[in-house]
Amino acid sequence: MISQLLFIIGASIFGLLGFVHLIYTFFTDKFNAYDPDVTAAMKGTSPVLTKETTVWRAWIGFNASHSLGAIFVAAIYIPLAFSHIQFIANNSWFSVLPSIIGFSYLLLAKNYWFKIPFFGILISTICFVSAFVLINT
């Protein structure tokens, strides 16, 4: 079934992007600022919201939780599409949810990120929307 393959491809792209992002967050300096003074300032100040953390720790936490969200989409939809595609096909919510998530991440990528995640999420979202259309027509 083509829709099954499209769900798997779309979810796999999401999972790969999330996994790479998580690795970059904890094991590289790719999210450090080019200006070391900015990184130092982030490590030395707290947000207005609370003194219990620093801007740097919040930054790392936001990046990590963002990664886990993308990985979670993959962790749910890859096995679901492999083993229970009829469940997705028979349930409007589970067939449309990946498209909603895809469009949400796509808007974030367009407005706040850069071209590599944008194009990865675009391909993933096209897969999700195509699968949804195929299942529901």
The pLDDT tens digits for 99-130 are: 999 999 999 999 999 999 999 999 999 999 99
105 to each of 90, 102, 111, 114, how far by Cα in Å? 25, 5, 10, 12
**Domain spans of the chain?**
2-135
Check residue 1 and give its pLDDT: 86
Give the pTM: 0.89
The pLDDT tens digits for 77-97 are: 999 999 999 999 999 999 999
Q: In 1-137, which residue ranges form alpha helices assigned H by DSSP?
A: 2-27, 36-44, 55-83, 85-90, 92-112, 115-135
